[in-house]
A and B are shown apart, each in its own frame.
Chain A
């Protein structure tokens, strides 16, 4: 199968998945008991105002009509109004999504770089005390929820050592850079505002680290296991026999093929970052989409819930397509195998 055909097939499948997701979330959000408008306007809001807002949100119509109206608006780029923030959900998404993306990107970078580094170190020092410590830390990292790390980091770096900020995205005295991407570190770099850049970076570090711990540990474990397996392969033994230096074998011949499993689970790890971000955002008062999404669910803010789930769904699907393409590109056997399956 050609790579283009492979991509086209994955895209078509993804659209079907997203459509199914939208129907599911639309039904679930509406069958949960309680009137969202009454909840938003308060129990003392006059009935006629509740009815007026319900009409404006089309909640007086049958479910299938509500879905049709919603889908049509969404295709035009309009997600409707949020009852929580009282403004358009599209506006909210533009305001909150970059903060979560920025957090996830940094967490993803920490997770990938340090995960693979730790995995490699562990293999290099196999069965030594270094290897054992890395393995113990990896186990702890996988089983400990992100918010526990968040609380520990707040207490350690914010409270005891007092070296990192524990709330918000920028120090109070720093002027935020003009919004270009919405990611403060990038916007401040583009505009040459290094003071804002460093402030944003210090604010990012603890939440990103908390968020990355589980993925980092998983990456370290998988990298170690994958490299250990490959270490026994004939081609590595052959390299050794030819007298190629051990470091060169490790980084040039062993690391690259060993990365395929870690790349494969990157997509899943990235999705886990987005979903785990909620508690981290709560602890660090980070104005991100996950925090917004949970507030929307608690307040039954229908349009916001649907939009957040769809955005996360689209992100998850996109990341996985990219990962699949990357893996298929790295390892042609995967494409060929799918080709054979199709032929059958």
Chain B
């Protein structure tokens, strides 16, 4: 071997061996200062999420997106744990006598991240932009808010098409963007004078007032947000300097990073076994709270024999609730009625079904199909992407057989389920589907699931089409007085339990492992029932001293 070749081999070897020694493990790396040198005092909050993440408030609406947007932008009102609302960007508001005009008085001196001041015009622009693009949370306001008008620099009016009681609640999804910054960065696009409405720009940048601002966004893998020191509202002194959302749910990666103290909070999609393993790590605990979504067995009330209320009631009595919450989806809570128990307007007094095959048989005997039920096989479609749902289907099949109901199980991909839900004829007798509220009120679920206008969607494969229920829901939606509205919600739930169009399986519990030794996460003690708000990082405290102590030990 020649001399030069030997040197080349040696260099290659040294490079590979010396590389890890060159900079050590990254878990202890501090965030960068302006000159790129690490600064020890700065803190991180790193959370794993299921990806993708869309940070444009007119585009994103899933979990990761809602979390990012809530940290980057602000809304007129802010939701509280008890389902109430407090002033946020709006200092105060008035509602006209006809309940069709809401006037908001915008707080003065609120700064966008570029230093300019937020005005009423930005609120109008944000609403118009959301409606024009039509994606994200636009559907919540569609057909309800006619227009938004600017009265003066700090006053803005929302004109409604018809009275809509939950308007204030829905405004927790109207995030305010900086008009000047967006328009300065618009490209050619389909929205006339607004070009692309800044969609390309806001895909990777923010134009908000939020407690955090985009520092770096690699759309495939992570979003790094930095604290905005001029934030107008409460910002805990120990709130992390950086909030990094990491696009992975890979169990090995999550566990190793938690061990290395390189991840503060895990995603919610880990298996029960993975959560148990994470809880074994010193200084790590698993937090859980009801996330307001529920699993339903939706019964097609227009298809024989499900068109008979007695058959539906028999099915509700024949369902083994214990087996599901204890064995198939352990850690969840019994459902108590058609809406989650954490939603304002939930009725705690509705009667509940329990697993009782004798009552199921008795209900079936009252059915007009009794004696010829073998002629009416029941098709049970479970969503192929969630294998655990098959376990429930098999359980229902076995128990139904004991009372004389024949159940055929069909594995159905989610996209096919959406297609099948489009008509009464193609909708299966039973579909097991989770539904989450669009906004934090019982009315959101009740309207989506049981109002006739929403049939044909995967959220309502019951095809209830009940004029009385429709009227009650519409009345509730028109009712601005909150107590009165909640009362109507409770009546609707009683009526729905009587009709038994669905089997209410369980209240879903959201779980996250977190570094309880150095992270103080106040929202888990009083969870806010609006997706994303429990990760508002300005309230979360990350203690660098406790972390260093833990690392040292």
Which residues of A are in contact with B by a Cβ distance under 8 Å? 33-35, 38-39, 41-46, 48-49, 52, 56, 84-87, 92, 95-96, 113, 151, 154-155, 158-159, 162-168, 171-175, 195, 198-199, 201-203, 205, 251, 282-287, 291-292, 295
Find chain B residues with CB under 8 A from A34 CB.
Answer: 413, 415-416, 419
Judge whether A158 and B260 touch: CB under 8 Å. Answer: yes
Among A42, A49, A199, point to the contact of B23 (Cβ < 8 A). Answer: A199
Find chain B residues with CB under 8 A from A162 CB.
Answer: 25, 27, 260
Q: Which of B126-143 contact A (CB under 8 A)?
A: 134-135, 138-139, 142
Judge whether B438 and A285 touch: CB under 8 Å. Answer: no
Among A48, A151, A175, A285, point to the contact of B221 (Cβ < 8 A). Answer: A285
Find chain A residues with CB under 8 A from B142 CB.
Answer: 46
Having A87-B204, A174-B36, A205-B20, one finds 18 other A-B pairs with CB under 8 Å, namely A33-B419, A34-B413, A34-B419, A42-B62, A45-B139, A49-B138, A86-B59, A154-B256, A159-B260, A166-B257, A172-B31, A173-B29, A173-B30, A195-B23, A286-B221, A287-B220, A287-B221, A295-B51
Q: In the complex where A167-B246, A167-B253, A285-B247 touch, is A172 in contact with B29 (Cβ < 8 A)?
A: yes
B359 to chain A, nearest CB (A): 35
B27-39 vs A, Cβ < 8 Å mask (1 yes, 0 no): 1011110001010
- Tell me if B259 is interfacial: C-beta within 8 Å of chain A: yes
Name which of B61, B135, B246, B255 has the most chain A CB atoms within 10 A of its CB: B135
Question: Complex Cα distance A38/B15, Å?
Answer: 49
Judge whether A155 and B253 touch: CB under 8 Å. Answer: no
B34 to chain A, nearest CB (A): 10
Q: In the complex where A174-B36, A295-B51 touch, is A158 in contact with B256 (Cβ < 8 A)?
A: yes
Find chain B residues with CB under 8 A from A164 CB.
Answer: 20, 25
Nearest neighbor of A299 in chain B, beta-carbon distance: B52
Question: Complex Cα distance A145/B23, Å?
Answer: 30
Judge whether A155 and B252 touch: CB under 8 Å. Answer: yes
Find chain B residues with CB under 8 A from A173 CB.
Answer: 26, 29-32, 38
Question: Complex Cα distance A96/B220, Å?
Answer: 8
A108 to chain B, nearest CB (A): 14
Find chain B residues with CB under 8 A from A39 CB.
Answer: 415
Name which of B61, B200, B256 has the most chain A CB atoms within 10 A of its CB: B256
Find chain A residues with CB under 8 A from B466 CB.
Answer: none
Judge whether B135 and A154 touch: CB under 8 Å. Answer: no
Find chain B residues with CB under 8 A from A45 CB.
Answer: 134-135, 139
Question: Complex Cα distance A279/B553, Å?
Answer: 34
Find chain B residues with CB under 8 A from A167 CB.
Answer: 246, 248, 253, 257, 262
Find chain B residues with CB under 8 A from A154 CB.
Answer: 252-253, 256
Find chain A residues with CB under 8 A from B59 CB.
Answer: 86
Question: Complex Cα distance A45/B60, Å?
Answer: 11
Judge whether B19 and A201 touch: CB under 8 Å. Answer: yes
B450 to chain A, nearest CB (A): 16
Nearest neighbor of B133 in chain A, beta-carbon distance: A49
| 9 pairs, CB–CB < 8 Å, chain A vs chain B | A34-B415, A42-B61, A49-B135, A84-B52, A158-B260, A163-B20, A163-B24, A168-B222, A202-B20
Judge whether A292 and B253 touch: CB under 8 Å. Answer: no
Q: Which of B1-52 contact A (CB under 8 A)?
A: 1, 12, 15-16, 19-20, 22-27, 29-32, 36, 38, 44, 51-52
Judge whether A285 and B246 touch: CB under 8 Å. Answer: yes
Question: Complex Cα distance A165/B416, Å?
Answer: 41
Q: Which of B93-144 contact A (CB under 8 A)?
A: 134-135, 138-139, 142
Question: Complex Cα distance A92/B220, Å?
Answer: 9
Tally B residues with Cβ within 8 Å of A: 65
Nearest neighbor of B142 in chain A, beta-carbon distance: A46
B69 to chain A, nearest CB (A): 14
Find chain A residues with CB under 8 A from B19 CB.
Answer: 198, 201-202, 205
Question: Complex Cα distance A167/B46, Å?
Answer: 13
Judge whether A44 and B438 touch: CB under 8 Å. Answer: yes
Q: Which of B195-215 contact A (CB under 8 A)?
A: 199-200, 203-204
Nearest neighbor of A150 in chain B, beta-carbon distance: B252
- Tell me if B279 is interfacial: C-beta within 8 Å of chain A: no
Question: Complex Cα distance A172/B223, Å?
Answer: 12
- Tell me if B244 is interfacial: C-beta within 8 Å of chain A: yes
Find chain A residues with CB under 8 A from B533 CB.
Answer: none
Question: Complex Cα distance A167/B256, Å?
Answer: 10
Judge whether A287 and B25 touch: CB under 8 Å. Answer: no
Question: Complex Cα distance A287/B438, Å?
Answer: 32
- Tell me if B457 is interfacial: C-beta within 8 Å of chain A: yes
Find chain A residues with CB under 8 A from B274 CB.
Answer: none
Judge whether A35 and B415 touch: CB under 8 Å. Answer: yes
A9 to chain B, nearest CB (A): 36
Nearest neighbor of A252 in chain B, beta-carbon distance: B1
A241 to chain B, nearest CB (A): 23
Name which of A34, A95, A158, A172 has the most chain B CB atoms within 10 A of its CB: A172
Find chain B residues with CB under 8 A from A292 CB.
Answer: 220
Find chain B residues with CB under 8 A from A113 CB.
Answer: 12
Question: Complex Cα distance A282/B19, Å?
Answer: 23
Judge whether B32 and A48 touch: CB under 8 Å. Answer: no
B245 to chain A, nearest CB (A): 12
A334 to chain B, nearest CB (A): 28
A307 to chain B, nearest CB (A): 14
Find chain B residues with CB under 8 A from A95 CB.
Answer: 218-220
Find chain B residues with CB under 8 A from A85 CB.
Answer: 52, 203, 219-220
Name which of B26, B242, B260 has the most chain A CB atoms within 10 A of its CB: B26
Question: Complex Cα distance A167/B52, Å?
Answer: 17
Nearest neighbor of A206 in chain B, beta-carbon distance: B20
Judge whether A172 and B44 touch: CB under 8 Å. Answer: yes
Judge whether B32 and A175 touch: CB under 8 Å. Answer: yes
A157 to chain B, nearest CB (A): 8
Question: Complex Cα distance A168/B256, Å?
Answer: 13
- Tell me if B322 is interfacial: C-beta within 8 Å of chain A: no
B177 to chain A, nearest CB (A): 16
Nearest neighbor of A83 in chain B, beta-carbon distance: B52
Question: Complex Cα distance A158/B457, Å?
Answer: 46
B212 to chain A, nearest CB (A): 16
B192 to chain A, nearest CB (A): 14
Q: In the complex where A172-B44, A295-B51 touch, is A43 in contact with B458 (Cβ < 8 A)?
A: yes
Judge whether A46 and B139 touch: CB under 8 Å. Answer: yes
Among A43, A163, A171, A282, point to the contact of B29 (Cβ < 8 A). Answer: A171
Find chain A residues with CB under 8 A from B438 CB.
Answer: 44
- Tell me if B409 is interfacial: C-beta within 8 Å of chain A: no
Judge whether A41 and B135 touch: CB under 8 Å. Answer: yes
- Tell me if B418 is interfacial: C-beta within 8 Å of chain A: yes
Q: In the complex where A163-B20, A168-B221, A295-B52 touch, is A56 in contact with B190 (Cβ < 8 A)?
A: yes
Name which of A151, A158, A203, A284 has the most chain B CB atoms within 10 A of its CB: A158
Find chain A residues with CB under 8 A from B257 CB.
Answer: 166-167
- Tell me if B250 is interfacial: C-beta within 8 Å of chain A: yes
Find chain B residues with CB under 8 A from A198 CB.
Answer: 19, 22-23
Nearest neighbor of A203 in chain B, beta-carbon distance: B26
- Tell me if B54 is interfacial: C-beta within 8 Å of chain A: yes
Find chain A residues with CB under 8 A from B457 CB.
Answer: 43-44
Judge whether A52 and B1 touch: CB under 8 Å. Answer: no
Judge whether B135 and A175 touch: CB under 8 Å. Answer: no
B391-419 vs A, Cβ < 8 Å mask (1 yes, 0 no): 00000000000000000000001011011
Find chain A residues with CB under 8 A from B203 CB.
Answer: 85-87
Judge whether B26 and A171 touch: CB under 8 Å. Answer: yes
